[in-house]
């Protein structure tokens, strides 16, 4: 397929995906899922729908996000089902939607809710070098996942409320975790790092986890590009982060499957028995590269691998029927703990599912970025 044909083919994808989300949530009941609790996966889905509403000029998509967010935000700006003292970075992610709500309505309760989430990050437990613990119950651990959950929120908060010291904090978190998790041989990033070297999954010398999980690097890739969008051009760490982002993308292209254009669940072990081409990580890489190209953070050499990745997603992972767009081969979830040891066998043992919002949310985000870049 030529690039010109690819561009035509993707133009309608955002609307098709967003309409599927509306239809499926209507069938399941708008007030059941994703409204069970304030959490990072529904928060990402709502963010994708809010962006779709703005980009496609379709109020239905924005209203979907707004209505679901308002289920949690009380008149005094407090957030239902959220507890600051958990110090859980995952709980920051849904707060990214507050900025669009505040911009559109001027309602101070959204600002108050954002101030609460920022207060958590300002007082978040930290490593000795100042890195945010992923959760209070995960002491001295930095996870790549957490950079996506918290850093873009903090960067947008810093810009919205003129808190330049928090932009500095955002830069510090992004650069620190890269320095602690990067493998010099491959350029890939390990899932997490335990400064205390207490966890079963942590290397006894480096504290690093033992494998390169696709979605963990996907979270971090999206975090970098989403944060950079808010950095002032003259910020002293902006160029460093752009350089780290491009270096990381080169490492990702080196492990991209040449036949499908996708990426494996365990990134550097594609030929190993049991490994598989995974949807969410592949989609996140395409999103990050497309946005990086659009905003000028990446050189043009990434355009071909990005488009190859998008074509592979559509060809290998997506189907359509009368119920809409379906996404397959999504790792349902993975983490690191006493019973989740971070080995290759662990990562390939987690359930693989279809149509989970863990994949559908990034799919809509990627489709929107592809459309913006190619139009």
Among candidate residues 173, 171, 151, the one with its CA nearest the CA of residue 89: 151
- Among 304, 255, 289, 335, CA closest to 90: 335
SS3 category, 353: strand
Pairing assessment for the beta strands 318-321 and 192-194 based on DSSP bridges: unpaired
What is the number of residues in the chain? 375
What tokens were used for 239? 């160029």
Neighbours of 240 (CB within 10 A): 14
The whole-angstrom separation of Cα 360 and Cα 364 is 6
CA distances from 366 to 57, 190, 284, 292, 320 (A): 17, 23, 7, 12, 17
Residue 145 annotated among the catalytic residues of the structure = yes
What's the rounded Cα separation, in Å, for the pair 95 and 118?
A: 10
Closest alpha carbon to 347 in 278, 250, 254, 248 = 278
**Residue 241 burial (CB count, 10 A):** 21
For residue 6, count other CB atoms closer than 10 A to its CB. 16
CA gap 142, 336 in Å, rounded? 11
Given 145, 203, 226, 257, the catalytic residue: 145
Is 255 within 8 Å of 264 (Cβ atoms)?
A: yes
- 326 three-state secondary structure: strand
Sign of the torsion formed by the C-alpha atoms of 70, 155, 175 and 195: negative
* Separation of first and last alpha carbons in the chain: 18
How far from the centroid of its chain's Cα atoms is residue 286's Cα?
12
For the annotated catalytic residues, the residue numbers are: 145
């Amino acid at each position: 397929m030529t690039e010109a044909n690819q561009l035509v083919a993707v133009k309608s994808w955002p609307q098709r995906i967003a309409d599927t989300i509306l239809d499926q949530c209507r069938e399941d009941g708008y007030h059941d899922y994703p409204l069970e609790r304030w959490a990072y996966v529904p928060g990402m889905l709502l963010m994708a729908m809010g962006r779709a509403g703005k980009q496609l000029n379709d109020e239905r998509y924005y209203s979907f996000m707004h209505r679901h967010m308002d289920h949690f935000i009380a008149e005094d700006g407090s957030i239902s089902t959220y507890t600051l003292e958990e110090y859980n970075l995952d709980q920051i992610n849904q707060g990214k939607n507050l900025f669009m709500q505040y911009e559109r309505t001027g309602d101070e309760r959204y600002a108050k809710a954002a101030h609460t989430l920022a207060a958590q990050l300002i007082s978040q437990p930290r490593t000795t070098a100042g890195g945010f613990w992923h959760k209070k119950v995960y002491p001295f651990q930095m996870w790549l996942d957490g950079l996506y959950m918290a850093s873009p929120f903090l960067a947008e908060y810093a810009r919205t409320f003129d808190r330049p010291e928090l932009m500095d904090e955002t830069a510090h978190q992004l650069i620190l975790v890269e320095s602690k998790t990067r493998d010099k041989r491959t350029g890939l990033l390990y899932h997490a790092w335990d400064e205390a070297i207490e966890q079963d999954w942590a290397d006894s010398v480096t504290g690093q986890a033992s494998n390169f999980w696709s979605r963990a690097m996907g979270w971090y890739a999206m975090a970098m590009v989403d944060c950079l969008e808010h950095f002032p051009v003259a910020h002293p760490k902006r160029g460093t982060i752009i350089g780290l982002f491009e270096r990381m993308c080169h490492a990702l292209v080196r492990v991209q499957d040449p036949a499908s254009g996708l990426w494996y669940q365990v990134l550097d072990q594609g030929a190993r028995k049991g490994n598989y081409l995974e949807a969410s990580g592949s989609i996140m890489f395409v999103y990050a590269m497309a946005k990086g190209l659009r905003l000028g953070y990446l050189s043009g050499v990434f355009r071909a691998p990005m488009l190859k990745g998008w074509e592979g997603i559509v060809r290998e992972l997506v189907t359509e029927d009368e119920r809409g767009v379906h996404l397959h081969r999504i790792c349902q979830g993975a983490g690191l703990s006493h019973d989740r040891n971070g080995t290759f066998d662990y990562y390939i043992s987690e359930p693989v599912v279809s149509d989970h919002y863990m994949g559908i949310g990034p799919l809509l985000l990627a489709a929107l970025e592809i459309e913006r870049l190619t139009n």
